[in-house]
Structure 1
């Protein structure tokens, strides 16, 4: 897998995952501008943790360079988080990880669905990978990659 491997994240990893998320969002000019304290953001973030659904992205030497989270439900794989540290972005790593995730979901007959904040560069990344816009809500756009689509990237 891209020279990288996935490792199940543990609750003890949450502070590092939060920092990686903040770094990735800041590099994409999507910093949260919510009127809440950093501590309350961290508590809300930690409350969403589900053991076995959050994965660290590791380089072959074990260096942690990002993380992702998904869960399968009915006929869909919900990709809830996908972050790489800025130094590792734009090198094809994310595209290869996404390709593997979609291919594996496709073998199970699952569509991959996700949402992206309006104005995020992530929307273009997912469209290049073969995702199509599939609705939205205030502040976000929903995307879908169907199990019957050609493999992304």
Structure 2
């Protein structure tokens, strides 16, 4: 059974470990894996009020961060993190969490934006789930899910 649980400030180290475990392969492929930079990036965006642990059968298997994006028209939610420990990937957990995020967007009359590392399997995942690529930077691809294109599966 899947559920979401609140995040507390004391959860930072566990969440950093999940982030590094999940991103390591993709970052190494880009020549960008750096534990110090990973810590700094998570610290900069660590906002427990917008974060949820993804729990399966009382075990934390990942987390999601969905926050209001500032200055976006139409109103937008930013999906900053969706990390599932590799051992739990490909079992529908990410899709379940993404459906939760889409439901939140529908309730708030918002679209969802996100960025994913180039050459990451996450890109195929987001495309399969109705996101369209809307931009690109040196290391990331930017995506948007619009509520006007449909509702969560």
Q: Aligned pair count?
A: 147
Contact 1:7 1:55 in 2 (8 A): yes
Partner SS state of residue 113, structure 1: strand
Contact 2:66 2:101 in 1 (8 A): no
Cα deviation digits, residues 37-66 of structure 1 (max 9, x gap): x34542442232113012111113x21100
User: Please, what TM-score do these two structures have when normalized by structure 1?
Assistant: 0.86
Alpha-carbon RMSD across the aligned residues, in angstroms, is 1.9
User: Please, what TM-score do these two structures have when normalized by structure 2?
Assistant: 0.86
Distance 1:84 1:72 in 2: 22
Task: Decide which structure has greater helix share.
Answer: 2
Structure 1 residues 35 and 126 mapped into 2: Cα distance closer, same or farther (>3 Å)? closer
Task: Determine if the alignment matches structure 1 residue 104 to structure 2 residue 73.
Answer: no
Alignment of 1:112-131 (within 5 A): 112-131=112-131
Other-structure match for 1:18: 16
Alignment of 1:88-99 (within 5 A): 88-99=88-99
CA shift, 1:134, in A, is: 0.9
Distance 2:50 2:110 in 1: 16
Structure 1 residues 56 and 152 mapped into 2: Cα distance closer, same or farther (>3 Å)? same
Distance 1:39 1:100 in 2: 31
Partner SS state of residue 17, structure 1: helix
Contact 1:80 1:114 in 2 (8 A): yes
- Stretches of 4+ moved more than 6 A in 1? none
Other-structure match for 1:52: 49
Distance 2:65 2:111 in 1: 15
Other-structure match for 2:65: 69
Gaps of at least 5 residues in structure 1 are none
Distance 2:137 2:15 in 1: 26
